[in-house]
Structure 1
Amino acid sequence: MTSNTIYKSACNAKLLVLLLFLCSYITFGQSDVSSAAKVQAIFDQFMSYRHQNKVDKALETLDQAAEIAENNEDAKLLLDTYHQYARIFLEEGDRETTVFYWDRASILLKDLSYSYGQAFHNYLEAAIRFDEGNNFQSLKLLEESRKLSNNRNLSNNILLLEAYIFTNIEKYEDAIKNLHALIVNSDDKERAYLATKANLQLAKISLELDDLEEGIIHSKAALELAEKHGFFKEIKTAHERLSIIYEKTGSFDESLRFKKNLEQIKDSIFNIEKVKLEAKTADKIRFEHQMNEINKLTAKNEELSESKSRSEITLILTSAFLTIISLLAVSLFRNNQIKLKTNDLLYTKNKELELARDSAVSAMEAKTNFLSTVTHELRTPLYAVTGLTHLLLEENPSEHQKEHLKSLKFSGDYLLNFINDILQINKIDADKLEPLNIEFKLQKVLADVVDSLQQNASENNTSLILDYDPNIPQHLLGDPIKISQIFMNLVGNALKFTKDGKVEVIAKLLKKDEDDVKLYFEVKDNGIGISEDQQKNIFDSFEQGSVQINREYGGTGLGLTIVKSLLGLFNSKIHLESELEHGSSFFFEMDLKSDTNALEEISFEIDPEEFEFKGLHVLIVEDNKINQVITKKMLTKKEITCDIANNGNEAIDLAKSNTYDAILMDIHMPGISGEEATRQIRKFDEEIPIIALTAISLDDSLDSFYEAGCNDVVTKPFKPEVFYQKIGENIFKSKMEGQV
């Protein structure tokens, strides 16, 4: 081969590569004036078919536009056609085909200087992102689209999509502003269609904001426009909106009428056939376009196969490879930009959420601490009220004084119960409660609850019965205090609403598998009962069924809330069955462990009447002067002598230098606390009974009192009978155990 031949060959190869490169980025010529008019008529017809939801005819008109664009090599017209293909398939929910046409449009845009085409491309991408749920990315793309073109129709469509996004992110004022502008729009292409869509979206927002009258107005306006212009899909949506809104307003006849109309529209033969035809047409057009792409690639491949010059094929393949690499690089760069924007958005949103969370936690802690402080501080003056009332009642007051004192005592007890409930709820909200896991006798816990409430039952002429299954293991592991609280609330509640009737407390063994025990509990009564509507909210805080019930029977409405929360600690759930005037039944199951290693204890229980208090000598540790006086007087009534320590250090010194039958220890004191004083005393005296007297606050735990060395706990303000009972039990039980 001569050098001249080689030179010619190389020149031919270069020329061929240049031609192929130019072909891949060719800019098609524009069609003439008559073609433009014909295309505009086609697009107008497409718009009409699209509005009327005649998808098959709309796609066929686009096919005509695409054919003209390819014959005239009109790249801008082909781009506009691809955009409309993508738009209609997106509206029909065919995301895969939407992306197919959007990608083809992206390739054409690379070599076109066409600001409207780029603006519409951004609008379409925003619609795709909105369909994915990426609201903020969509808003950014719409802003970019608005900057590129001031086309009136595109601007109106941007306003509509923005309104949809604003609704999603609950910026209702911005959405409503856009939609009202669209209702009075002067769009020369889609005036009626945009107004219809705007009215439908305003109806949706009105429904979300519970403005039902406004929702009806906009739905009817949308329906009127849709029926007038044949907007099939919008007619269905308007019927749906109206049926929902009328149902919410209680106009069930109107709601039913629109529902029936909607069903007739959905079930019509025309509608069914229309859907089938649309699907068939869409599949046909999508198949033809995809086959067209395959045929082009096949032809290119055959052309390459027929090439005789290896150097030409190599150059062509190299050019193709570089083109592909360039496209991949552009794609990767674009994806990376989107990823960076997304990460920035996520970081910003995470920071906002963290700030909101911290603010909510701080507010909750502030509320919790405030309630804790208030309830704790209220106990000190309440102790004086209840204590002095008790003392005055025991000093033989006159009959008219006795009546006033009893009223005062009742009010003090009511206020105390209310404060205790508030503190309990506060502890539950602050996650300060944890169940104990100690050995206890369930029968004794339930019997104590029943015995303590027998007086309440007698006042209502109601019999209170405990039905206890003897098959339940005698020794169980759990939290007897919280179980007692659960039944005190349930039984107390049942007694409150039952007069001249019966209240039963039932405990049954469901299953025992080695140490695992499943128990069934029920508290049922034949009182006033609870209606179905009231049952829905009966376990919510401060709920008592109705204002009338609250006024007649009193109470805070917190008892059942506490029961529900306490059972949650045991992974148990409360259930209710009730009927008005036929009583109520509260029941639940609980999983506990049986203590097979527990030994039978010798009972040292003593009848309270047998306590011989005379001659006892105790130490009162209390920093509050009023409380000192009241506690001392209550002890004196039982002929018990006492010494008083004003703080923890004095208590330690007096306990070292004197002999006492018991120590009544206040927990919260200046200087060292009652817990610390108890620990110090236990270092030199392990036997003396120490009873904690405390107004329990949020951070207090009965466990910590017992761990410090206390034998028992009495919460202030305490009932006198409980106070004497605890002193007697701890002193005399200790003495009897010592004798044994």
Structure 2
Amino acid sequence: MEKINILIVDDRPENIIALEALLQRDDVNIISTTNPNEALRLSWEMDIAIALVDVQMPEMDGFELVEILKSNPRTKDILVIFVTAISKETKYAVKGLNTGAVDYLYKPLDPFVTSAKVDSFIQFIRNQREIKQKNIQLENYQKELIKAKEEAEQGKRAKENFLANMSHEIRTPINGIIGLSNLLETTSLTEDQKEMVKLLEISSTSLLGVINDILDLSKIEAGKFKINRSQTDIANVCNSVVNLLRIKAKEKKLELNTVLSPELPKYILADSLRLNQILMNLIGNAIKFTNDGSVTLKVEILNTKGNNIQVKFTVSDTGIGIAPQNLEKIFETFEQADEHTTAQFGGTGLGLSIVKNLAKLKGGQLEVSSEENKGSEFCFTNWYEVVKEVKEIEKPAKGILRPFNNIKILVAEDNPINKFLIVKILKDWNIETEVVENGKDAIDKLVDNDYNLILMDTFMPVMNGLEAIKLIREGYAPGKERVPVITFSAAVMESDKKVAIEAGANDVISKPFDLEILHEKITKYTATY
């Protein structure tokens, strides 16, 4: 235990000896002096906690000594107890307390009272110092927390920047591959060539799916993932997923069954896209890990409360199953049941992690039961509101994309494949096209030429698309501040789209883009400018 320093100041040595005898104990150091000036020096140099000061002394009385101590920041916190033989009148006590003393001891000293008072002040000092130490620790913890928070935020920003860049760098070439394969399909091909183009489409779509899975997880972790509920045909969602995956099941000679309860309503309020994603992952996973037998999707109503129903989606298979110790592990990001599973079946280990996060976001429950070499059963349960007043959903008719008349578009794109792809599409639509490779060239072209629309890639060398748009809106090309600009972006975060709109873009098209969406937006913006 740390010893407490007690200073005794008295001009009479015999009084000091008497006090030392009363205060002698193992947890204190007693320092004494008969000289007030010496007392000031000791207080300055040593960590004095308590000072017992005689009031009447030559040269400098106790009141004057305490005033000096209290006026100095280094000694102001010393607890002063006056020791006096003068009158106990109130005026003297008040004067001492006003000076800064905390108590009085009167001569002749009562040993019990003296010891008790000093004990209480020693305990007070210890408590004060403990609180001070705790406050210092708390401040240090606070600083560490602030530092950790800043590092976490910096790491989060770095991760988001990495994902945005990765999204752009990977999705851009995928956009080129998908676009070129679509163009190839419209040309004269042999049967072998058609088969190769089909395989090219499947491979690129599969790669795009992995990238989308990673980005979905990132958006969930960042809290930027939204659930959008709308009128949903529950049976149609289930049948569509099963039909999409039926080819994979047939390739493995598996039975793919659907069992839908006849009590299911026609429409519910649900996020059909995310429900589709959950079922695609669960059924796709079941097919992947099943070599013989069947995969079954069963949908039933567990409970009803008013206008709400609790629906249970069960995906069961006769596959390899999962060992009990690996049941929790399969839901972790980039994890599979074991190394043997990864080596034999491949995959990223993202599917079930996404399903778990989506189920949680939708307010549902995800459960799994499995037995090795016999199969697994995944159950997703959630409450849905039944839609009674059905709104007819208009489906846009897919027709021939009509050519345009007297339309001139400036394309700013640095990727050669995407540049070729966009120009080919626009020319097929009878659109006059000029192409530049960066934002600086785009705004310089705009100064000297008139365009009905600008298609601007977001990421480009020299000057990126967003910088170029800002300069256009600020009047870099006088009189053309309002020219419509649509950005092409391979980034899919909502924040990226928001930034583009804030920079002055009229709209954003994500890569890879849909030809009908591009045609629709060109029609919209060229008609209003």
TM over 0.5: yes
Paired letter, 1:492: G
Question: Secondary structure of the equivalent of 1:527?
Answer: coil
Provide the rounded CA distance (Å) in 2 between the counterparts of 1:465 and 1:605.
Answer: 31
Provide the rounded CA distance (Å) in 1 between the counterparts of 2:237 and 2:487.
Answer: 21
Paired letter, 2:492: S
Q: 1:525 deviation in Å? A: 1.9
Change (3 A) 1:433 1:701: farther
Question: Secondary structure of the equivalent of 2:512?
Answer: coil
Q: 1:382 deviation in Å? A: 1.8
Residues 71-123 of structure 1: CA deviation (Å, up to 9, x unaligned): xxxxxxxxxxxxxxxxxxxxxxxxxxxxxxxxxxxx8426899xxxxxxxxxx
Partner of 1:575: 367
Q: Percent of aligned pairs with the same residue? A: 30
Provide the rounded CA distance (Å) in 1 between the counterparts of 2:509 and 2:148.
Answer: 41
| TM-score, structure 1 normalization | 0.45
Provide the rounded CA distance (Å) in 1 between the counterparts of 2:168 and 2:322.
Answer: 34
Q: 1:370 deviation in Å? A: 0.8
Provide the rounded CA distance (Å) in 1 between the counterparts of 2:455 and 2:156.
Answer: 35
Partner of 1:697: 492
Q: 1:452 deviation in Å? A: 2.8
Paired letter, 2:180: L
Partner of 2:512: 717
1:586 pairs with 2:378: yes
Provide the rounded CA distance (Å) in 1 between the counterparts of 2:269 and 2:498.
Answer: 16
Partner of 2:452: 654
Question: Secondary structure of the equivalent of 2:315?
Answer: strand
Partner of 1:239: none
Provide the rounded CA distance (Å) in 1 between the counterparts of 2:499 and 2:185.
Answer: 36
- Alignment check: 8 A CA contact 1:628 1:644 kept: no
Provide the rounded CA distance (Å) in 2 between the counterparts of 1:360 and 1:614.
Answer: 49
Residues 409-428 of structure 1: CA deviation (Å, up to 9, x unaligned): 44433322222222222222
- Alignment check: 8 A CA contact 1:615 1:641 kept: no
Residues 448-503 of structure 1: CA deviation (Å, up to 9, x unaligned): 32333333333333343333334344443342222222122112222222345432
- Which of 339, 346, 349 aligns to 2:138? It is 346
1:630 pairs with 2:417: no
- 1:199-278 pair list within 5 angstroms: none
Residues 497-541 of structure 1: CA deviation (Å, up to 9, x unaligned): 234543222222222223443221222222332233432311112
Higher relative strand content: 2
List runs of 5+ in structure 1 lacking aligned partners: 1-17, 28-106, 114-313, 656-662, 677-682, 686-690, 707-711, 732-740
1:613 pairs with 2:400: yes
Paired letter, 1:443: A
Partner of 1:109: 26
Provide the rounded CA distance (Å) in 1 between the counterparts of 2:155 and 2:199.
Answer: 38
Provide the rounded CA distance (Å) in 2 between the counterparts of 1:703 and 1:437.
Answer: 22
Q: 1:565 deviation in Å? A: 1.4
List runs of 5+ in structure 2 lacking aligned partners: 1-13, 31-105, 460-464, 474-481, 502-506, 522-529
Change (3 A) 1:319 1:424: same
Q: CA RMSD in A?
A: 4.9
Partner of 1:537: 329
Q: 1:586 deviation in Å? A: 0.9
Provide the rounded CA distance (Å) in 2 between the counterparts of 1:582 and 1:561.
Answer: 23
| TM-score, structure 2 normalization | 0.61
1:513 pairs with 2:311: no
Question: Secondary structure of the equivalent of 2:297?
Answer: strand
Partner of 2:476: none
Provide the rounded CA distance (Å) in 2 between the counterparts of 1:362 and 1:694.
Answer: 24
Structure of larger gyration radius:
1
- Alignment check: 8 A CA contact 1:486 1:566 kept: yes
- 1:317-356 pair list within 5 angstroms: 320-356=112-148
Question: Secondary structure of the equivalent of 2:177?
Answer: helix
Provide the rounded CA distance (Å) in 2 between the counterparts of 1:377 and 1:457.
Answer: 33
Question: Secondary structure of the equivalent of 1:613?
Answer: coil
Q: 1:694 deviation in Å? A: 5.1
- Alignment check: 8 A CA contact 1:416 1:717 kept: no
Change (3 A) 1:414 1:588: closer
Residues 365-400 of structure 1: CA deviation (Å, up to 9, x unaligned): 212311221122221122112322343355345677
Q: 1:336 deviation in Å? A: 0.8
Change (3 A) 1:642 1:576: farther
Query: Of the two structures, which has the highest relative contact order with CA contacts closer than 8 Å and spacing of 6 or more?
Result: 2
- Alignment check: 8 A CA contact 1:373 1:697 kept: no
Provide the rounded CA distance (Å) in 2 between the counterparts of 1:545 and 1:556.
Answer: 12
Question: Secondary structure of the equivalent of 1:481?
Answer: helix
Change (3 A) 1:388 1:724: closer
Provide the rounded CA distance (Å) in 2 between the counterparts of 1:543 and 1:700.
Answer: 28
Residues 213-251 of structure 1: CA deviation (Å, up to 9, x unaligned): xxxxxxxxxxxxxxxxxxxxxxxxxxxxxxxxxxxxxxx
- Which of 169, 173, 176 aligns to 1:377? It is 169
Higher relative helix content: 1
Question: Secondary structure of the equivalent of 2:304?
Answer: strand
